[in-house]
């Protein structure tokens, strides 16, 4: 599936084929209407509710007070920083490991179907299952704690460092990194396979060091795919609920968990605030993607390669 | 070279398989007190609970998850194949805008959309229904499906259809005997994508389904709350099995790049 590598980078280069507007409408219409109604509808109706417009329960004035409450809450800053920290760290670590893994795979095991098959297994495993596995591994009485105890490094579970429900989100990061490495690696592999070896051989002929070959040949070629994969991973980890809900601390909460906590509160007045947090999450994700696109665009214009 | 290949192979194998070890051990343990590295006694308690006492509950969860994922996938394909074909084959003004409209639901978390739609779904009596949950899953499964099929059709040569037509084949026959066989591997990937996305959804199902749609992820969450680790481990293994079987089954037709891009 060569084509699916370009999820975020819009397919450039025309196809040279035209179709009548009616034909296009009949092909695209049903799907686009569905997406527009469900996704656009969700955003617009959510915004109305977050602005306080809920005629069914007697609120029909529009105002920014719910957004104001959320943004002025001292917990908002803490939640935002925690969420950004988790999304950025897991994306960066997964990206670095994926680049190394993809390069090693191309070099030493490009023809091995078995290894490619094994690497696909994590793609099919839901985050929730890995979160449960990480609890069983890293909890104070988990498998690692037992191992250290067997090796007489620690004497009781209390001596084992806190790795889940901890301040650094180690457990959360472990789940995301395990899940996202294969995802990014496969995106990179499809590009690296098409690259061939000619450029690298040319580099070697010109006496380029391994590092030079990496920064001047490989990195520019994989950059668009790597960037796209990282954006998808960042957006996902920024807005995901299950893993930080199970493995995070009760305070501060990541933004998605905080949003749902408000939304499901028995106090109906907290509900619009939950929706407001949900929309803030959506806005941050969209803005970070737009900014990175602008950054990449200007970077390319100035002749930078990344 | 040989050496590095084996090191790579075993480190990948070990890192991939390692998280399954505690799940398998816990699901088979009868008594496992700290600091035992292995359970003090193995036994089928968790598995007999899962398939015996809680068997009907698990079956309900399996069938709820499976039917949701299946219907979402079928609708995604029916709507997504024509859309992907239009995007892959033709140039038209506004194509960039369409791709933006399709990227947004992929990056914006389902949480934001589900909370917005919930109130509206209550009014339309779609909340707590099967159709309501399918609709919320469609909001992100359909854009994903369209992207995969878009990729498939950029490599597609429609001239074959033209030849079939000039030989007198009916439009339906062209779709079934020319187009579908050619795009079949791509369709498999798109279907797997959509199925897995829907299969592993938790929060959007919970918000729109309101506890009425007891899918496997929702069962798993309540099991984790109850603290019965052996049973939670056993259900986790049941939860990953269908996706794993689908991967095994499709490995042949997918070829090497396989599930690339699955979230």
Among A137, A240, A125, smallest CA distance to A183 is for A125
Please answer whether residues B107 and A21 qualify as being in contact, where contact means their C-beta atoms are separated by less than 8 angstroms: no
- By CB atoms closer than 10 A (0-12, 13-18, 19+), residue A59 is middle
Interface of A with B in 26-85 (CB under 8 A): 26-28, 30-32, 34-36, 38-39, 41-47, 49, 54, 56
A205/A195 Cα distance (integer angstroms): 17
Q: Taking the C-alpha atoms of A276, A279, A283 and A285 in order, what is their torsion angle to the nearest 10 degrees? A: 120
Q: What's residue A14's pLDDT?
A: 67
Q: What's residue A234's pLDDT?
A: 93
Report the mean per-residue pLDDT for chain B.
87
User: What residues contact residue B234 under an 8 Å CB cut-off, 6+ apart?
Assistant: B27, B46, B47, B49, B50
One-letter-per-residue 3-state SS of B112-138: HHHHHHHHHHHHCCCCCCHHHHHHHHH
User: What residues contact residue B17 under an 8 Å CB cut-off, 6+ apart?
Assistant: A118
Among A178, A166, A183, smallest CA distance to A244 is for A166
Per-residue pLDDT of A103-119, as tens digits, reads 888 887 777 778 888 88
Q: What's residue A5's pLDDT?
A: 39
B232/B220 Cα distance (integer angstroms): 6
A265/A259 Cα distance (integer angstroms): 10
Per-residue pLDDT of A85-101, as tens digits, reads 999 999 999 999 999 99
Beta strands in chain B (DSSP E): 29-31, 41-42
Q: How far is B115 from chain A (nearest CA, A)?
A: 6
A10-24, A130-144, B130-144, B193-207: range with lowest mean pLDDT: A10-24
What number is the average pLDDT over the span A196-224? Answer: 81
Please answer whether residues B130 and B213 qualify as being in contact, where contact means their C-beta atoms are separated by less than 8 angstroms: yes
Among A228, A255, A295, A247, smallest CA distance to A6 is for A228
Q: What's residue A306's pLDDT?
A: 41
Q: What's residue B210's pLDDT?
A: 87
| ipTM of predicted assembly, 2 dp | 0.88
What number is the average pLDDT over the span A129-141? Answer: 91
Q: Let me know how many helices (H) and strands (E) chain A has, helices first.
A: 14, 0
Cβ–Cβ gap B34/A146 under 8 Å:
yes
Q: What's residue B212's pLDDT?
A: 83
Interface of A with B in 182-241 (CB under 8 A): 182-183, 186-187, 189-190, 231-232, 235-236, 238-241
Among B118, B13, B179, B203, smallest CA distance to A244 is for B203
What number is the average pLDDT over the span B229-234? Answer: 89
- pLDDT at residue A6 tops 50: no
User: Nearest CB to A235: which of B89, B107, B207?
Assistant: B107
Q: Collect all residues of chain A within an 8 Å Cβ-Cβ radius of residue B34.
A: 141, 145-146, 149, 157
Q: What's residue A4's pLDDT?
A: 40
How much of chain B, in percent, has pLDDT values that exceed 70?
94
Per-residue buried b or exposed e for A142-152, using 16+ beta carbons within 10 Å of the residue's own CB:
bbbbbebbeee
Dihedral pair phi/psi, residue A21, rounded to 5°: -55, -35
A107-121, A273-287, B211-225: range with lowest mean pLDDT: A107-121
């Amino acid at each position: 599936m060569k084509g699916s590598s370009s999820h975020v980078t819009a397919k450039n280069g025309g196809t040279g084929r035209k179709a009548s507007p009616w034909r296009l409408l009949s092909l695209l219409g049903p799907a686009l209407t569905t997406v527009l109604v469900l996704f656009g509808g969700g955003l617009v109706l959510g915004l109305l509710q977050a602005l306080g417009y809920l005629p069914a329960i007697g609120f029909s004035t529009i105002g920014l007070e719910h957004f104001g409450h959320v943004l002025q809450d001292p917990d908002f800053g803490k939640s935002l920083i925690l969420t950004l920290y988790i999304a950025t760290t897991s994306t960066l670590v997964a990206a670095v490991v994926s680049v190394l893994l993809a390069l090693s795979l191309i070099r030493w095991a490009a023809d091995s179907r078995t290894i490619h098959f094994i690497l696909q297994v994590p793609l099919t495993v839901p985050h929730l299952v890995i979160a449960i596995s990480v609890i069983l591994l890293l909890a104070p009485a988990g498998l690692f704690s037992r191992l250290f105890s067997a090796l007489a490094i620690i004497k009781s579970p209390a001596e084992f460092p806190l790795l889940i429900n901890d301040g650094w989100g180690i457990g959360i990061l472990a789940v995301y990194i395990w899940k996202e490495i294969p995802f990014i690696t496969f995106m990179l592999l499809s590009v690296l396979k098409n690259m061939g070896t000619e450029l690298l051989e040319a580099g070697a002929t010109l006496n380029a060091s391994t590092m030079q070959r990496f920064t001047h040949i490989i990195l520019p070629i994989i950059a668009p795919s790597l960037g796209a994969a990282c954006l998808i991973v960042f957006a996902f980890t920024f807005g995901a609920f299950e893993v930080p809900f199970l493995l995070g601390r009760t305070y501060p909460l990541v933004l998605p968990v905080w949003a749902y906590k408000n939304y499901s509160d028995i106090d109906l007045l907290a509900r619009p605030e939950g929706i407001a947090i949900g929309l803030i999450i959506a806005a941050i994700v969209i803005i970070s993607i737009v900014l990175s696109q602008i950054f990449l665009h200007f970077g390319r214009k100035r002749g930078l390669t990344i | 070279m040989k050496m590095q290949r084996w090191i790579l192979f075993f480190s990948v194998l070990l890192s991939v398989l390692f998280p399954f070890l505690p799940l398998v051990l816990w699901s088979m343990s009868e008594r496992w007190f700290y600091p035992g590295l292995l359970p003090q006694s193995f036994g089928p308690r968790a598995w007999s609970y899962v398939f015996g006492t809680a068997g009907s509950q698990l079956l309900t969860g399996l069938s709820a998850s499976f039917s949701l994922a299946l219907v979402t996938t079928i609708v995604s394909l029916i709507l997504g194949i024509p859309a992907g074909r239009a995007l892959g084959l033709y140039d038209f003004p506004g194509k960039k805008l369409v791709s933006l409209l399709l990227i947004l639901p992929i990056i914006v978390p389902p949480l934001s959309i589900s909370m917005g739609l919930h109130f509206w779904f209550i009014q339309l009596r779609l909340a707590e229904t099967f159709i309501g949950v399918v609709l919320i899953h469609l909001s992100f499964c359909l854009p994903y499906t369209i992207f995969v099929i878009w990729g498939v059709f950029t490599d597609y040569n429609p001239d074959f259809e033209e030849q079939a037509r000039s030989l007198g084949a009916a439009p339906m026959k062209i779709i079934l005997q020319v187009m579908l066989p050619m795009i079949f591997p791509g369709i498999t990937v798109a279907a797997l994508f959509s199925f897995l996305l829907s299969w592993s959804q938790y929060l959007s199902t919970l918000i729109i389904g309101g506890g009425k749609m007891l899918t496997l992820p929702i069962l798993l969450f309540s099991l984790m709350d109850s603290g019965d680790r052996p049973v939670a481990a056993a259900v986790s293994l049941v939860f990953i099995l269908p996706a794993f079987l689908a991967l095994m089954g499709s490995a042949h037709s997918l070829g090497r790049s396989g599930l690339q891009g699955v979230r």
